[in-house]
Structure 1
Amino acid sequence: MRRILIVGAGQSGLQLALGLQSHGYDVTLMSNRTADEIRSGRVMSTQCMFHTALQHERDLGLNFWEPQTPNIEGLGISVAAPGSHDPGPTQRAIDWVGKLDGYAQSVDQRVKMSGWMETFAERGGQLVIHGATVGDLDYFSRTYDLVLVAAGKGELVSMFERDASRSPYSEPQRALAVAYVHGLAPRPEHPDFDAVRCNIVPGVGEMFIMPTYTLSGRADILFWEGIPGGPLDVFRGVKDPSEHLKLTLDLMKTFLPWEYARTTDVELTDANGVLAGRYAPTVRKPIGRLPGGGAVLGVADVVVANDPITGQGSNSASKCAATYLASILERGDKPFDEEWMQQTFDRYWDTAQHVVKWTNAMLAPPPEHVLDILGAAGEFPRIAHRFVNCFDNPADLENFFFDPDKARAYLAEVSGASAA
């Protein structure tokens, strides 16, 4: 039985640990917090998982909360008209919703990670509550066949060299602010189904609103992404949860009155239902080398950390765990050497590269052809449908989104078919 150590108990670390455990591997999982501490702590993320990522969970029998979690059947885009956030009526230059082929879901990671961690222990896995250091891994690397680092923050990340060729940004591109709330009214345009709403205020930032399942049941996430130094970059230093929510709503009133109108009865789900921060999107080399000469393999956010503007974080983590699980199983009794580690990461990069390209593009001011696509999606449901399903399969964006000539050809094809 091969012995594997996984450091970090997030989406990727736990999914991989439970997957390996189900195949008979001797797995040790290290977490810096207990399940109870995670469950009673602050919200960690704004996860929205699309069909492929959800299916990876289903394949391992880990979709414990699927029946009670809202089914997100669509994704809508609204773009504020230029100057519309000045005093006076606010208009939308673009406003539409597209339907997903397979529904998405969002489960508060406090619920999921604590539940998965308890399941791992109940199934006989060795759970170690300890904040690992590089020195710890140096010691453990001699007693385990493979050490995986899935803790995306702290000292351990420094073992992995930044890949400058794949990391165009060295500074955070958005200031992030999250609030989990009860009482949000449905969008009047589609009261009969749930959708993620992406609101873009050019030159200011974005707000995402998504249904979720949290400790107290059904809720919604209000998530601001503000351009640093701009009017949304005001959450740093705000400690009081009620002040955080008030600031969130005041900014909605100013910039997104069509969404603010839904917040009449909004209240926080709990005192820990707020989060603010920022980080630079970064790709790192996948192999971390230890002082004693050993090597460890980075997982998910450790090696590919994207800004959440495209909602890919938990999806990428799930896909990374699935890819690494397949590579480990295929390896059999052969050593997990550095060549294998690089090949395993490269296999994940085949899908991750599309997410990185898309996310970095969305952090920059949108070029004309992208605005043309988003605008045309309001007129042609076929375009809206294709674009929103790229949240599940970002690779399709290569075919019509990034290149101006491909975009023009696609728009011409759709409009021509419609005219015919």
Structure 2
Amino acid sequence: MRKILIVGAGQSGLQLALGLQSQGYEITLMSNRTADEIRSGRVMSTQCMFHTALQHERDLKLGFWESQAPRIEGVGMSVAAPDSTRAVDWVGKLDGYAQSVDQRVKMAGWMETFAQRGGQLVIHGAAVSDLDFFSRTYDLVLVSAGKGELVSMFGRDASRSPYDAPQRALAVAYVHGLGPRPEHPEFDAVRCNLVPGVGELFIMPTFTTSGRADILFWEGIPGGPLDVFQGIKDPAEHLALTLELMERFTPWEYARATKVELTDANGTLSGRYAPTVRNPIGRLPGGGRVLGVADVVVANDPITGQGSNSASKCAASYLDSIVSHGDQPFDEAWMRSAFDRYWDTARHVTKWTNAMLAAPPEHVLQLIGAAGQLPRVADRFVNGFNDPSDLENFFYEPEKTHAFLAEAAGAA
């Protein structure tokens, strides 16, 4: 039986641990918090998982909250005009529904499941010196903890990381009491509101510790009018500021938010980080090697909602790479090949996310505008959230965009 250590109990670390456990591997999982501490702690993320990522969970029979979480059937796009009306407003339908489960609920539940199934759960923060010791006693060590000292082992890949500073200031509030969008009350959708030159407001239905809720998520251009959450510790003040900015920049969303309240005292989060691709292999002082997982090695800005999806896809890819390797050594060449296999998917996410952080070129503005008149364009665009590789066919190059719009107009 091969012994594997996974450090970090987020989406990718837990999904991979449970997947390997089901295949008969002897897994040790290190977390710096207990399940109860996670469940009662601060929200860790926004997350909307699309069909492919959800299917990876279903394949492992881990979709424990699927019947309780809202079914997100579409993604809407609105663009604010200078007078704070909507210059663009449409919604595209997803081929397969998406879902959002608060990671406090999911990670705590999965961690308890891992322990109940006989996995060794170690509640302890890990330092590089710990991994130096463990690398000699395990066949493979995977680092899935995306923050802190351990990440420093993985050097930045400058060729794949165009930004060296945060591109957005992030502010999240989980709320109860949000009203439906009056124009589409019959189905749940993620709403992407673009405020040119200022930032973005995302609203997504979710399932949290207290049931159905919605996430209000501002992404502000650093130094701009949305970059005002640093230093705010009081959750009520955080929510009041969120709503004040909605009233100013997205009044159509504010109109349904006048009765909201926080889901809990830990339902807010703010911060920022630079989107970064890192080298996948960490070298330990004693000569050992560890493999980075998910956002340890590919951390994109959340503007395209891909974080938890990428984590799920990375875990699924690594699971296949580990199982298919049999009893051969997990050497540096294998680590490189496992990452390269995942990067083949992740590179599309990174390219798209970095493009969305910049001011959109004229042909992308035409694409977003045309989606309001042509449902086929809206639907294809929003299904790119599930499969970003399809964006290569119509998003990046003006010629491909114009050909697609002409074809869609002809079909209409």
Q: TM-score, normalised by structure 2?
A: 1.00
Partner of 1:250: 244
Partner of 1:209: 203
Tell me the distance in 2 between the aligned counterparts of 1:413 and 1:252: 37
Pair 1:123-2:117 in alignment:
yes
Tell me the distance in 2 between the aligned counterparts of 1:74 and 1:65: 20
Give the CA deviation at 1:264: 1.8
Pair 1:326-2:323 in alignment:
no
Tell me the distance in 2 between the aligned counterparts of 1:399 and 1:203: 27
Matching residue within 380, 404, 416 for 2:398: 404
* Matching residue's letter, 2:104: R
* Matching residue's letter, 2:394: F
Give the CA deviation at 1:315: 0.1
Partner of 1:384: 378
* Matching residue's letter, 1:9: A
Q: Which runs of 5+ in 1 are unaligned?
A: 85-89
Give the CA deviation at 1:369: 0.5
Partner of 1:22: 22
Partner of 2:253: 259
Matching residue within 246, 262, 273 for 1:279: 273
Partner of 1:80: 80
SS of match in other structure, 1:75: strand
Partner of 2:69: 69
Partner of 1:414: 408
Partner of 2:99: 105
Pair 1:348-2:342 in alignment:
yes
Tell me the distance in 2 between the aligned counterparts of 1:56 and 1:38: 23
Partner of 1:367: 361
SS of match in other structure, 1:173: coil
* Matching residue's letter, 2:57: E
* Matching residue's letter, 2:101: V
Give the CA deviation at 1:409: 1.3
Give the CA deviation at 1:186: 0.2
Q: Write out per-residue CA displacement over residues 8-54 of structure 1, whole angstroms, 9 at most, x where no aligned residue.
A: 00000000000000000000000000101100100000000000000
Matching residue within 206, 229, 234 for 1:235: 229
Q: Write out per-residue CA displacement over residues 324-374 of structure 1, whole angstroms, 9 at most, x where no aligned residue.
A: 000000000000000000000000000100000000000000100000000
SS of match in other structure, 1:265: coil
Partner of 1:316: 310
Pair 1:193-2:195 in alignment:
no
Tell me the distance in 1 between the aligned counterparts of 2:268 and 2:5: 32
Tell me the distance in 1 between the aligned counterparts of 2:311 and 2:377: 28
* Matching residue's letter, 2:216: L
Pair 1:293-2:287 in alignment:
yes
Partner of 1:53: 53
SS of match in other structure, 1:18: helix
* Matching residue's letter, 2:344: D
SS of match in other structure, 1:5: strand
Tell me the distance in 1 between the aligned counterparts of 2:411 and 2:33: 56
Tell me the distance in 2 between the aligned counterparts of 1:361 and 1:317: 20
Paired positions, count: 412
User: What RMSD in Å do the two structures reach over aligned CA positions?
Assistant: 0.5
Give the CA deviation at 1:405: 1.1
Identity of aligned residues (%): 81
Tell me the distance in 1 between the aligned counterparts of 2:85 and 2:225: 19
Give the CA deviation at 1:408: 1.2
Partner of 1:36: 36
* Matching residue's letter, 1:192: E
Tell me the distance in 1 between the aligned counterparts of 2:69 and 2:110: 16
Q: TM-score, normalised by structure 1?
A: 0.98
Partner of 2:296: 302
SS of match in other structure, 1:139: helix
Tell me the distance in 2 between the aligned counterparts of 1:91 and 1:72: 25
* Matching residue's letter, 2:357: L
Give the CA deviation at 1:417: 2.9
Q: Which runs of 5+ in 2 are unaligned?
A: none
Pair 1:395-2:398 in alignment:
no
Pair 1:146-2:150 in alignment:
no
Give the CA deviation at 1:416: 2.6
Give the CA deviation at 1:414: 1.5
Tell me the distance in 2 between the aligned counterparts of 1:287 and 1:240: 39
Give the CA deviation at 1:91: 1.4
* Matching residue's letter, 1:20: L
Q: Write out per-residue CA displacement over residues 364-406 of structure 1, whole angstroms, 9 at most, x where no aligned residue.
A: 0010000000000000000000000000000000000011111
Partner of 2:168: 174
SS of match in other structure, 1:196: strand
Q: Write out per-residue CA displacement over residues 259-286 of structure 1, whole angstroms, 9 at most, x where no aligned residue.
A: 0000121000000000000000000000
* Matching residue's letter, 2:276: T
Give the CA deviation at 1:410: 1.1
SS of match in other structure, 1:96: strand
